[in-house]
Amino acid sequence: MIMGQLLEMPTLTVDEVETDEILVPVGTGSVPHAIAAPPAIGIIGPGLVGSKLIKYFEDSEIAEITRVFASYRSAGDIIEVGGHPVQIELASEADYGGLFAVCNTAPAGFAKDHAERIADEAGYFVDASSDLRKDPSVPLIIPEINPDAIHHAENGILAKSNCTTTIGSLAIYGLHEVASLRSLSVSTYQSISGQGWPGINEFRQHVEAMLTRQKEMLDGRTYPSYPQSEVFPELTAFNVAPKAGTFEGYDTSEELKYKNETRKIFGLDEDVTIDVTCARVPVFNGHSVDIHAQFDRPISAGDAKDILAETPGVELHTGEDVPQPVNAVGTTDVHVGRVRQSELFGQYGLRLWATGDNLTVGAAHNIFKTVRLLISQV
């Protein structure tokens, strides 16, 4: 069985990939067999994230996207992948045999119903959605942080963490390795593209509608009549809503994802406290996270900057050079700046700001690196 074999393998980094000849698992219960590289990859959902993922594979030589899947809305359409026309197949009915890995970038709901079958037919199912993240048998992979967790994908199913959690985790893991986290207080500023094309389309309608009400907005009389929201729970244009996702008790679904997934990725004890408020902001692309962290030993802002400057996946900004979504878009690192000592926790605490492109570092590039890691292990 493939995962049994992986358990015996030495640890590799995300960059160590051999592509001359690889062993391709066929189904999770079968023995890998050698075929000519590159391995075949399937992508479900060529939307905002999926189309970026396709581009990463096109620009690399580690694997080839041979099949693309979507819902009945796009099944039958032809798209160009790697210079070749590929006909989109209906994801729910396709047979995935022969693929090394299937990357799922369909919205939540699909993986719940189909992950097990697909992982059985193909080698791996790598999920971008939130469906399976709480399942203890499904590891959440951030290749810079926990590459060895791929060995715990018992059924060939792996997932990435929520995009905001990924950005926040990349910003602090280097510090956590030096001084363990004791508590975390986080405010997020999440962009519109976090809700895919439907979110972008609704935002555009909101912006257009609100622009015609400029006078009323300034007078404060129009808010009861703002445009109907369907994708987002509140008005997105010219507004900041501390309500990303839906309420589940006192926290929203996005806040619970941040808390639970951070614990899972870092293996944090229950006595490490995490407080999170997630807000949706009228930014097209790029999530930001204001982080206030307490550690179990003193760590100076100067030492923290030295660590962050050397942390893979992080680009450190210093002085008046502050990380912002407009500058982070299209990049594959998390941009960290405003690093300073906490007044609340003194030498045991730090305050910092992290910004990352939710579509790349928060999603497509993470999935690409995870597949690259899987290829490197066979």
- Catalytic residue IDs: 163, 287
Question: Least distance to ligand NAP from the beta carbon of 328, Å?
Answer: 13
- Packing angle, helices 48-58 and 196-211, rounded to 10: 120
Question: Least distance to ligand NAP from the beta carbon of 158, Å?
Answer: 14
Residues 263 and 143: beta-carbon distance below 8 Å: no
Choice between 49 and 138, CB closer to ligand NAP: 49
d(CA 262, CA 233): 24
**Binding to ligand NAP, residues 155-214 (CB under 6 A):** 163, 193-194, 196-198
Among 25, 42, 46, 337, binds ligand NAP (CB under 6 A): 46
Among 49, 99, 316, 328, binds ligand NAP (CB under 6 A): 49
Residues 305 and 377: beta-carbon distance below 8 Å: no
Q: Which residue number places its CB atom closest to ligand NAP?
A: 47
Residues 37 and 58: beta-carbon distance below 8 Å: no
With CA atoms as reference, report the closest residue to 367 among 156, 163, 128, 135: 128
Rama region for 45: left / alpha / beta (φ>0; ψ in -120 to 50; rest): left
Choice between 42 and 362, CB closer to ligand NAP: 362
Question: What is the DSSP code (8-state) at residue 100?
Answer: S
Choice between 105 and 188, CB closer to ligand NAP: 105
Window contacting ligand NAP (CB under 6 A); options: 128-136, 229-237, 244-252, 295-303: 128-136
DSSP notation for 261-277? HHHHHHT--TTSEEEEE
Question: Least distance to ligand NAP from the beta carbon of 357, Å?
Answer: 9
Among 47, 227, 233, 312, binds ligand NAP (CB under 6 A): 47
Helix (H, G, I), strand (E, B) or coil at 166: helix
Question: Six-digit token pair at 185?
Answer: 């207080």
**Binding to ligand NAP, residues 68-127 (CB under 6 A):** 70-71, 73-74, 91-92, 105-108, 110
Question: Least distance to ligand NAP from the beta carbon of 244, Å?
Answer: 12
Choice between 50 and 323, CB closer to ligand NAP: 50
Q: Are strands 334-342 and 273-280 parallel, antiparallel or unpaired?
A: unpaired
Helix (H, G, I), strand (E, B) or coil at 358: coil
d(CA 292, CA 274): 10
Choice between 72 and 223, CB closer to ligand NAP: 72
Residues 6 or more apart from 271 whose CB is under 8 A from it?
none
Task: Build a one-symbol-per-residue string for 6-45: x at contacts with ligand NAP by CB under 6 A, - elsewhere.
Answer: --------------------------------------xx
Question: Least distance to ligand NAP from the beta carbon of 258, Å?
Answer: 13
Question: Least distance to ligand NAP from the beta carbon of 286, Å?
Answer: 10
Question: Least distance to ligand NAP from the beta carbon of 130, Å?
Answer: 6
The residue type at 178: V
Q: How many residues bind ligand NAP (CB under 6 A)?
A: 31
**Phi and psi angles of residue 136, each rounded to the nearest 5 degrees, phi first:** -60, -25
With CA atoms as reference, report the closest residue to 257 among 356, 164, 360, 136: 164
Choice between 70 and 289, CB closer to ligand NAP: 70
d(CA 354, CA 292): 11
CA 21 to chain centre: 29
**Binding to ligand NAP, residues 347-376 (CB under 6 A):** 358-359, 362-363
Among 48, 99, 122, 291, binds ligand NAP (CB under 6 A): 48
List residues binding ligand NAP (CB under 6 A). Answer: 44-50, 70-71, 73-74, 91-92, 105-108, 110, 128-130, 163, 193-194, 196-198, 358-359, 362-363
